[in-house]
Every structure is written in structure tokens, then in C-alpha cells.
Structure 1
């Protein structure tokens, strides 16, 4: 999910019976349904029970300081993510990107390394056009190595 989708996520988008999240993507305006994975489900439940302020907001994620409402359109969640990365003791090498977009990039890279097709990765990331997903192809070094030609073999057969 994109940052904009997470900020716009409503309690009504969560279907606990089917263990799914159904949204219309903010960027593409395309409807998509995601499974609520076991760990994600329990993390959401923990947040809703113990961390989310009691309020009337229909949004899942709200500001932790009054007024308890959805994050604004220009709210920068990067700073919040960075704070919790540090609190969790995760060290990020200097110059290395981190935040929600880097999580999407890591997911795409991992799926690619595990042999997932570009079409599957595009669908998971919510890309309308698989060309948008192609930017992640450079991360699969083993895949790229398998495409390399042996110059000796090429010249022998020429």
C-alpha cells in the first residue's frame, strides 16, 4: 500500500470476517483487495485496542495528539517512520533510503529475487502499468547475471 492509501484507510475498509482490506487506491483510483496477513492483523488489533486514541474518526490511523483526526494531506509520515525505526534499534546505513516507499521497493525486490513475475509484482504494488514496476528490475543482480552473454561463446559462434 502507498502512504496515501494508508493515510486514507478507514475502519470500514477492514473486513475481519474475510480477513481482507478493500480500498480504492488514492493514486490510481483502482479498487484492490489485500489479505490481512496474520502478523498484520494482530498488529492492527493491538494498535486499535491499545494505541489508537478513542475518537469518532472513521480513519484507522489518526494523530496521537488532539484533535484526534486523520493525518492531513501534507502530513509527512517519513518523520514518524524514521522515529520508530530508531526506537526499534534498526540502523540504516548513511545515505540509504528508508521509510514507506523503501518498504515497497524492498517488497518488489524480494518478490523478484524469489522468481515472481513482473505481472504479479505489478498487481501486488497496485501498479496499473507494469512499466511502473520495471524500475525494480535492476535490483535482481542474480537475474541480470543469468542474462549476460559469454563473449567467448559469442565470438566462437560468429
Structure 2
């Protein structure tokens, strides 16, 4: 049986995410208020891949009428890396300073992305972000709403 650090983290609920109200959240430093979210209630089979400096997520989403659509979204458009921490940010470009590694290529355990990120001072850390906060399914099509 293969065990990974990412699998262990996926079993531990995020204290930060659990402390946010269900309807809104705000990243105070960047002034981003939650508009979307909840895509993982109607989307399945997440996978992640790195293409150059871009991190892509593939996800199959239901359209509410019995149909399914495969989606491919560049998470760099929604997520940034600030001092080694993942934050929601328009055109954040976190893929230039974060990388996928082996079993830590994202989460098949809930709706979190697990990825290694540099802090710009030589430190590298495993980080996670709750993708269900700002990814939304609109009629089978995945969108990032910030």
C-alpha cells in the first residue's frame, strides 16, 4: 500500500476553511470577496498537471440536465503565491513558484489542491488551498469566481 503526505493532509479538515461562513469569505490582504464556490458538489474526478509555469485542473462537471462536460482550467488565473502561501488572486501565477510532486499532484481526497511552494527566500513548503471556495459549476462549465 502506498502512503503519501498529501493523502494524510487530505484526511485532516482545514481549520481555516471550517472557520469561514458558508456564504461569503474574504481574503483581507487582497480584498477578494467570495462570489462562487461549491463546484465539487456537482463535479467529479479531479486531476492536476503542470505545463511549464501553469497548473491545470481537469474536472468532469454535471450540467444539471443529465449531461457531463470535461473541464480544463488554468489555476494560475485564480491563485497566487505570497511568501510561500497560496491565496486567491486574479492572475496570481502561482505555478511559477510552486510545483507538483509525485502523489502530491493535487487532491483526490476532498476538494483541496496540495502543492509545494517556494517562499522566495529558499524555503519550500507543502501548501494546500480549498478549491471549493471559488470554483463554481455553471451549467457543466467550471469557472473561477473571485
How high is the TM-score relative to the length of structure 1? 0.24
Q: Please identify which structure carries the higher helix content.
A: 1
**Over alpha carbons, which structure has the higher Rg?**
1
Higher RCO structure, 1 or 2 (CA under 8 Å, sep 6+): 2
